[in-house]
Every structure is written in structure tokens, then in C-alpha cells.
Amino acid sequence: MSVTASALLQAALVALTVGLLARPLGNYLAATFTSERDLRVEGWIYRLGGIDPRADQRWTVYLASVFGFSVASMLALFGLLKVQGELPLSGGMAPMETAQAINTAISFVTNTNWQSYSGESAVGYLTQMAGLAVQNFASAAVGLAVAVALIRGFTRTRTDRLGNFWVDLVRGIIRVLLPLSAVLAVLLVLGGVAQNLVEPREVTTLSGASQSLLGGPVASQEAIKELGTNGGGFFNANSAHPLENPNPFTNFLQIVAILLIPFALVSAFGKLVGDRREARTVTVVMAGILGLVVLGTTISELAHPGAASQLAQGAMEGKETRFGVPASTLFASATTGTSTGAVNAAHDSLSALAGGAVLLNMALGEIAPGGVGSGLYGMLILVMISVFIAGLMVGRTPEYLRKKLGPGEIKLIALYILVTPTVVLTGTAIAMSFDGPQASMLGTGPHGLSEVLYAFTSAGNNNGSAFGGLSSNTTFYNLGLGVAMLLGRFLPIVLVLALAASLARQGAVPATAGTLPTNTRLFAGLLFGVVLIVAGLTYLPALALGPLAEGIR
């Protein structure tokens, strides 16, 4: 089979699988967050935490609950990292250095999972399971809860209540993430992913050298790492490691897992607002952007100039031979189109234009299809921007899903659009202004800028993947990227919940002849254009100085 045919077949198989699973899972998600009944285990959790599951929270209380839970999670994870050497199953790992522990705690609680450490040499088994894996569940559930709260803003009228964060959190974990992760973990184990608690063993290699062979509870963490769009590898090589991702079958499973819940949540949105055509429009735009990124990165890698690349039928530098170019570019596109830091190839080794494509994919706001929860509410913000722009053209107050988008709502939407670019570009500018941070760059010139820009884009968008050429385990990058992760995660959440409350307080506006249809191909084209113009052009000067300059020189 030719490489081109392989690329098309793999992309089609992923699209078909996600398409078949997204709607039934979306129906299940909609039922999960609207059910009036609590499972028995949920009741035990509510009683243990002193939670009234029937209490409806104002947006400020909902937000305070998000903040309180996240701060407590950060402190708990930081403490675990600092005392891991005294705990069982530590594997002899020393306590993590303070700046690095702060970065790691922020990273996993914000659903970023940026790692400035090598998992196999810095974190013990118990910390991996009780700390990092737990936060993979918790941070994904927080994103789910915020997205559901925004949907309630559209479906509720004349109220200042958005639901109960604690109920949304518990249901997201117990009913969605845990069962899906259990199924995926079993499939990964069957595919050859490691799952054990054995101590590292010294083995003799074919050349006669001694090597430490590691195991660990890998499959269980790998499952929620992908399903929760977390990233963060058990090993430093991440999903390129043979014990995390041993073959094309497990690679396929991981790509499907990365995309599944974000696309299913769009389907749930359509069911909850009572119009699946709205969900179809959003899905088409998400899939279209993702498809273009897959196409662009794959063509760029397959057509890379040079005798070695052409003989290998593609640029194989930095890629695993068991996957090849198509499976690597498909994985790179999926992981940067969502808030997933998992990688199965070195992004630093991508051709300049392919590296620029995955960088732009993150910079768009990770809305194709985005992270668990964050992708949907990010895209809905862009939908409302599109409605506003269309309203300006005809001189009419914009409406979306029978809610008016007045000055208050537009201000919140505008602030949301500005947050991440401000964080990313400011951080990059500071890093490029001082000799210390510049010394961490492996590359020089445009490629060095791309390494730094990628790091702050990854942190500010809560992605977590790394270009691979930046030595980020320094005080500046541990703390600087930590601040970027915090601002990139929680400022948008504040604005989304405030917007949800503003929408919920309104009454429903009846549709008239002047109401803009938002479920048509015309609107889908407008939305696609807005994504590229509003999000994409913001980063064009930085991209022109980095990957574009490198690609055309």
C-alpha cells in the first residue's frame, strides 16, 4: 500500500469510528447531566462531602467552587510531589524541586499536563496513580462541568442559577470518565501497553551494556490521559514509547480516544438545546479545520525535500518506524486540535511548515474539536462572535439560540478572545528579551523562536505538548509557563460562567423573519472564516517570524 493510501485510510477509519461513537455518547452525556436521580456511590460522596445535590448555584458560587476545588487539588498534588520519597512505591524517587513541583501541580490541575521532567526518572508509581492520574480525571471533569453550565445559560430563562458544580463534577467522573477509561485501559493492555507494579529491572542489551527496564501502571493512566485530553506521558518519550503505545492498533485507539468526548459533547449540546442542526454546524466546522491541518501536515512531511526523505517516502526524522508519517501527523493534528499534550513523534523534527500548522492549530484556541469541555465553550464563543458580526451587517441586535447578545455579553466574549493571545504573546516576548531564557533554546533564529512560541502557546492554551528543543526545566520556564497555564485556564472560565449567567437571566426571544439562521452551510462558512480571521491572524506576525520564515528560506 502506498503512503498516500495509508494516510487516507487511517484518517477515514478514525473519522468513521469517532462519527459512529459520538452521537450515542452525546446522548448519554446529555442524559447524565439532566438526570434527576443520583447513583448510590454518588450519594455516598455527597454525604461525605456535606453536599446538597439539589442545591442550585449562582454563577459566582459555581465559580468559587471551581476555584476552591482547583486550589485544593494543586496544594495536594504539590505536597505529594514534595514527599514522594517517603511514600511506598516511590521507586527511590527524590522529592521534586520546588519550582518544578509548582509547575507540575499547576500543569495537571489545569488540564495542561506540560512536563519539564522525565516521568520514569522523577515520579514514583504511587505519585503517578494517586496524584497525576487522579488530576487527569478531575481536570477533565471540571472542563465538562463548565461547558454544561454554559449550555444551561442557553436553555434556562429568568434565573441566576447554573446548576451545582459538585454534582456536575462527580457525575462527570463517575458516570463518564471512569467507565470509558476502564474500557480503554483493558483494550490498551490487550494491545500490549504495560500495566504492572514491578520494580525496575537491570537487563543486558545486545551490545553488552546494562539498561534499567521500567514497567508501571501505564495503561490505566494512558486511558484517562487521552480520553480527558490531558496528555502527560508516563515516560519521557510519551506516546512514542513502546510501553505506552506499542503498535498501530494502540495508536489508533489513542487518536480515537483523544477526539471522542470533544465531538460527543457537541452532539450532547445539540440534544440539550433541542436543535441537532446547531450541533451539526459546529461539528462540520470543527472537522473541517482538523481535516485541513491533517492534510497540510501530512503533505508537508511526505513532500519534504531531500534525498533521504524521498527514499524513506517522507520525513522520518523524529518519528517511530512502527507508525510512519501518516500515523504521526494524524496524531500530531489530533493532539494540537485538542488540549492533549500527548505526542507520538518529536514535533521539533517536523518540517517547518508542518510545525507551523500544528502550532497554528493550538493558537486557534483548540476548538477543532478542542479539549473536554473547553473545546465546546471555546467554539460557542466564536459562534457568538460570528452572529455578532452578521448582526452588524444588517443593523440588528444579534441573537443566538433565542438569547440576545447585548453589550454586556459582547464585552465578555471580546475579553475571552483576547485572554489567550495576550498570555501567549506576552510570555513569548518576555522570554525572547533576556539571555537566560534564550539560552534554553536548542535551535537558533526562526526555529529558536518557534520553540519558545510553541511552549507558551502550549501553556496558554492548556495543551501541554512540547516542540522538543527547549530545555524548559529552569526556574524561569517552570514559573513563567505555570503562570501562563493558570491564566489560560481560569480567566476564560470566569468569563464563560459570567456569560452563562447573563444568558440565563434573559427570557427566550421568539424567532422572527429577521433572525439569523445559524444551522446553515452559509453560517458554517462564516464561522470558519471568523475562526481563521479572529484567531488565526492574531498570531500571524509571530508565525511569520518563526515557522513561516524557516519554511521559505
pLDDT at 535 over 80: no
| Rounded (5°) CA angle 114-120-124 | 95
Q: Looking at residue 1, what is its pLDDT?
A: 61
Lowest mean pLDDT among 160-169, 193-202, 473-482, 490-499: 193-202
pLDDT at 337 over 70: yes
pLDDT at 537 over 90: no
pLDDT at 39 over 60: yes
> What confidence category does residue 346 fall into, taking pLDDT thresholds of 50, 70 and 90?
confident
Decide the pairing of beta strands 201-204 and 210-213.
Answer: antiparallel
Task: Tell me the β-bridge partners of 441.
Answer: 470
> What confidence category does residue 403 fall into, taking pLDDT thresholds of 50, 70 and 90?
very high
Tabulate helix, strand, coil % of the chain (nearest 5).
65, 5, 30
Percent of the chain with pLDDT over 90: 67
Q: DSSP assignment of 265-309, as one string?
A: HHHHHHHHHT-HHHHHHHHHHHHHHHHHHHHHHHHHHHT--SHHH
Q: Looking at residue 233, what is its pLDDT?
A: 78
Percent of the chain with pLDDT over 70: 97
Task: Tell me the β-bridge partners of 91.
Answer: none
Q: Looking at residue 209, what is its pLDDT?
A: 82
CB burial of residue 6 (10 Å; 0-12, 13-18, 19+): middle
Q: Looking at residue 301, what is its pLDDT?
A: 86
CA atoms 400, 401, 404, 406: torsion sign: negative
Q: What is the pTM of this model?
A: 0.94
Which helix (H) or strand (E) is 195 found in, with range?
none
Q: What is the average pLDDT across 519-524?
A: 93
| Rounded (5°) CA angle 62-65-69 | 150
Please name the residue ranges forming H helices in 395-539. 407-431, 435-438, 445-460, 475-504, 521-530
Phi (first) and psi of residue 159, to 5 degrees: -145, 155
Helix (H, G, I), strand (E, B) or coil at 57: coil
Residues 6+ apart with CB under 8 A from 426: none
Q: Looking at residue 85, what is its pLDDT?
A: 86
Cα–Cα dist 364/343, whole Å: 19
End-to-end CA gap in the chain: 34
Are the beta carbons of 343 and 357 closer than 8 angstroms?
A: no
Q: Looking at residue 52, what is its pLDDT?
A: 94
Task: Tell me the β-bridge partners of 470.
Answer: 441
Per-residue pLDDT reduced to its tens digit, 481-521: 999 999 999 999 999 999 999 999 999 888 877 788 999 99
CA 411 to chain CA centroid, Å, is 25
Q: What is the average pLDDT across 236-242?
A: 89
Are the beta carbons of 336 and 457 closer than 8 angstroms?
A: no
Q: What is the average pLDDT across 177-191?
A: 97
Dihedral in degrees, nearest 10, Cα atoms 156, 161, 167, 169: 90
Cα–Cα dist 536/389, whole Å: 17
Dihedral in degrees, nearest 10, Cα atoms 186, 187, 191, 196: -20
Listed by start position, the domains of the chain span: 373-552
Q: What is the average pLDDT across 295-313?
A: 72
As given in the structure block, the three cell numbers for residue 240 are 512514542
Residues 6+ apart with CB under 8 A from 97: none
pLDDT at 151 over 90: yes
> What confidence category does residue 143 fall into, taking pLDDT thresholds of 50, 70 and 90?
very high
pLDDT at 311 over 60: no
pLDDT at 394 over 80: no
Residue 5: other Cβ atoms inside 10 A = 10
- Give me the chain's average pLDDT, please: 90
Which helix (H) or strand (E) is 202 found in, with range?
strand 201-204
Q: Looking at residue 413, what is its pLDDT?
A: 96
What single DSSP character describes residue 87?
S
Q: Where are the beta strands (DSSP E) in 340-412?
A: 399-400, 403-404
Lowest mean pLDDT among 111-115, 161-165, 257-261, 437-441: 437-441
Please name the residue ranges forming H helices in 156-275. 165-171, 178-190, 218-227, 248-273
> What confidence category does residue 314 fall into, taking pLDDT thresholds of 50, 70 and 90?
low
Cα–Cα dist 437/19, whole Å: 43
Lowest mean pLDDT among 29-38, 102-111, 205-214: 205-214
CB burial of residue 511 (10 Å; 0-12, 13-18, 19+): exposed
3-state per-residue secondary structure call for 138-152: HHHHHHHHHHHHHHH
